[in-house]
Structures are given as structure tokens and as C-alpha cells.
Amino acid sequence: MKVIDPPSRDDRPLWDVWLATFNFPVLTVADEIGLFTLLAKQALSPTEIAEQLKIGARATEGILGVLTSLGFVLQHDGQFLLTELSRNYLLPESPYYWGGLLRNIHDSLPTHESIRDAALKDYYHDAESPWDSGEIPQARAERLTRHMHAHSMPAAMGVARWGNFTGVKRLLDVAGGSGCFPIALAMRYPHMRFTVLELAPVVALAKQYIADYGMQDRIDTLVANMFRDPFPSGYDAVFFSNIYHDWKREECLRLTRSSFDALPSGGHIYIHEMLLDDTKDRPISTMGYAIQMLVGTQGKQYSAAEIRAMLTECGFDSITVTPTFSYFTLIRATKP
Ligand SMILES: C[S@@+](CC[C@H](N)C(=O)[O-])C[C@H]1O[C@@H](n2cnc3c(N)ncnc32)[C@H](O)[C@@H]1O
């Protein structure tokens, strides 16, 4: 007979890692079937929710249980109602609705194969990507821009609130996507003017977002390829959000040098990213984003120290690091 000792600790972390994989699809299904919109009007019992959404009682119990545990709904007196979290981010009428992101990625979640292949090939996107050449189909640009708008609009409000834009009059938002950062900054700083530099298919969409906010007179657009075209002059700030994490260090250095060349003395570069701690093992969600970048881009999530080193190498100084919103941080540096 073989006798073994009990485990020296419990295996909860393994259960947690496995079973957390169900959380995201539960959220995207709840969004797709209209659960949050239904509960926005009134609190309902599980039986009423099942009837109105035409889903089974067992599924209703499971979905509501997961969403309650995660803080998206709460339970009171046998009825379910929305939390502040859901009211902000899961109602289509909210300016911060995450629907564009949820719908873009619900059918392309990471798999064992995608992570294994990326690990074995490392920079497997080494061949020229359509983003280098700027040749992206309109439908793909539209999906990505709706995704990025949902992804970035809440943080854009944090950048406008907490970032230091003292003295900045004209800001160039390089690869600015929907234009959400200039939109948020324009609300807070009435004297500022902005240009969103983007690839042609995205500029068409940015113009719509800018028009939705009635800001056409303060925010214009420029069709350009950030790697192939020189940055325009006449700006006292160059801004990048979620751009460095898409690219290798050498490409990030190219963007930093282009900014330095385009800026006047005293001008600022801003880099807004989800940063890793300098130990590069935290926070866990930013680590997850690093894996997403590994699978889908040539980049990675950087630490503040890594970005600071790039800025210094290109001649910038007076570097400041400011938390803005949720996991995001804004780095600002000045051309001497
Ligand atoms: C991750 S998104 C960031 C969008 C926005 N800055 C934000 O934070 O929400 C990357 C953006 O880079 C743009 N982009 C990619 N390659 C580009 C290039 N070569 N020139 C200009 N823009 C480019 C894409 O169109 C896309 O909008």
C-alpha cells in the first residue's frame, strides 16, 4: 500500500485561475442578451428576468450569481438591481459604455494555442504589419476604433482631470483613435486646440466622434502614417495613449525622436499607458494585458522605468509620472 501525506497547502489558486475563465463570457452574454438594459428600468426577480430575456431558470441563476459576486449587480429582497459599476460601463446610453470592446473581443479570446505560439515564436509579427503600412480594411478599423473608444474614454476623463497641461495650447494626439483624449481635454481646457493624427480609415470615424461632441472647431484631424511621415510642427505637446505598448522598443524610440524633433524647446511629450510596476510582476491585470500584447502585437506593457529610459535617451528631461484613472498612468517629459 502506498501512503501519501495530505497536500501542504490547498489548491484554491488553481480553481480560481481555471474558473475565472468563465467570468468574461458571462459578462459578454449578459450584455448581448440585454440583462443590464432590462435591470436599468427596475429591480426584478430571477423569475421575471428569465421570462423577459427568454432564458432558462438554471442559466439565470448562474449568470446572476456570477455577476453579483463580481459586483455588476446586487441582490436585495429577492430582486436584482444594477450597481454603479454597471450603470457607468454596461448601459448603451452611457458615454462610458464598454460595448464596443466587449463585442470586438468576445469571439477572439486568448487560447492555449495562441499563447503557446506567441511564446515559441516571440516577435512573430516581425513581418511588416498592416499597421506599419497603414493599409487596414475599413471594417477592421471600425471595430478597433469602437473598441478603443470604450477602452479609453473613462481614462481620458482621468487624464484631463489629473494630467498637467499647464501652458499647453496646441496638442498633437498621435494615433489618437476616436479622439477621446482631445474630446475629454477640450471639455476641461477651453483654450486648448487639438489635432488627431491617424490612418485614413480611422480619421473618418474620429470625425464622427468629434462631431458627436460638437467639437469640430477645436479638434481637427490629419491623415498620416506615424512611422513614415514627419510629425507636423506648430504643436507645444505631442500625446500618445496606448501606442507604446503596441510596438518594440526601437519603434517606440522612433516615435520619441519624431516627437523631440517636432517640438519646440519647452514643449512636452505625454505617454499614457497601463504601466507595470518596475519589478514587472504586478498588477496582475496589467500582466494579462502584457500577454494580450504578446499575442496580438509587437509590443508589451512597459514599466515607468523603461519609458523613462527611452525619454532620457532621446533628450527629454523633467519627467513626471501621474496616475490618472483605474490602471492608467500619464508620463510627461519636456524638451530642454
Ligand atoms: C491601441 S489604439 C490607441 C488609440 C488611442 N490612442 C487610445 O488610446 O484609445 C492604436 C491606434 O494606432 C493607430 N495606428 C496604428 N498604426 C498607425 C500608423 N502607422 N500611423 C498612424 N496611426 C496608426 C491605429 O489606427 C489605432 O487607432
Task: Give yes or no for residue 126 having a pLDDT over 70.
Answer: no
Measured in Å, residue 175 CA sits from the centre of ligand 1 at: 4
239-261 average pLDDT score: 97
Evaluate if residue 125 carries a pLDDT over 90: no
Instruction: Provide the pLDDT confidence category of residue 274 given band limits of 50, 70 and 90.
Output: very high
171 burial level (CB within 10 Å; 0-12, 13-18, 19+)? buried
Cα 319 to ligand 1 centre (Å): 24
Atom of ligand 1 nearest to the CA of 133: 19
pLDDT at 100 over 80: yes
Pocket of ligand 1 contains residue 150 by CB under 6 Å: no
C-alpha 19 chain-centroid distance: 24
39: its cell numbers: 435591470
pLDDT band at 121 (very low <50, low <70, confident <90, very high): confident
Q: How far is the CA of 226 from the centre of ligand 1 (A)?
A: 9
Q: Phi and psi at residue 220, in whole multiples of 5°?
A: -110, 180
* Mean per-residue pLDDT of the chain: 96
Q: What pLDDT does 116 receive?
A: 94
**Cβ(310)–Cβ(249) under 8 Å?**
yes
Q: What is the pTM of this model?
A: 0.96
Q: In this predicted structure, what is the pLDDT of residue 136?
A: 84
Q: Burial code of 211-225, b = ≥16 C-beta within 10 A, e = fewer?
A: eebebeebbbbbebb
Answer whether residue 263 shows pLDDT above 90: yes
What mean pLDDT comes out for the span 102-119? 93
pLDDT exceeds 60 at position 93: yes
Segment 8-30 shows an average pLDDT of: 98
From the alpha carbon of 173, which atom of ligand 1 is closest? 6
The contacts of residue 92 (CB under 8 Å, 6+ apart) are: 37, 99
Closest C-alpha residue for ligand 1 atom 11: 175
| Interval between CA 240 and ligand 1 midpoint (Å) | 9
The string of pLDDT tens digits covering residues 280-328 is 999 999 999 999 999 989 999 999 999 999 999 999 999 999 999 999 9
| pLDDT given at position 135 | 76
Do 229 and 261 contact (CB within 8 A), yes or no?
A: no
What whole-number percentage of the chain has pLDDT above 70? Answer: 96
Q: What is the pLDDT of residues 175-221, one digit of tens each?
A: 999 999 999 999 999 999 999 999 999 999 999 999 999 999 999 99
Higher pLDDT, 130 or 77: 77
pLDDT at 208: 98
Which of the four pLDDT bands, split at 50, 70 and 90, describes residue 158? very high
Q: Which whole number is the average pLDDT over 9-14?
A: 98
Residue 149 alpha carbon, nearest atom of ligand 1: 9
The pLDDT of residue 130 is 66
Q: How far is CA 194 from the centre of its chain?
A: 21
Burial group, residue 20, by CB count within 10 angstroms (0-12, 13-18, 19+): exposed
Predicted pLDDT at 129: 65
**Ligand 1 mean position to 96 CA, how many Å?**
20
Q: Tell which residue, 290, 320, 323, has the closest CA to residue 307.
A: 320
Calculate ∠ Cα 157-161-164, nearest 5°: 125
Q: How many CB atoms lie within 10 A of CB 268?
A: 24
- Pick the atom of ligand 1 nearest to 175's CA: 22
Cβ 202 under 6 angstroms from ligand 1: yes
The answer, yes or no, to whether any atom of ligand 1 lies below 6 A from the CB of 165, is no
- CA contacts within 13 A on the Cβ side of 92: 9
Nearest CA to ligand 1 atom 14: 175
Place 128 in a pLDDT band, splitting at 50, 70 and 90.
Answer: low
**What pLDDT is attached to residue 124?**
55
> Active-site residue numbers?
245
pLDDT at 196: 98
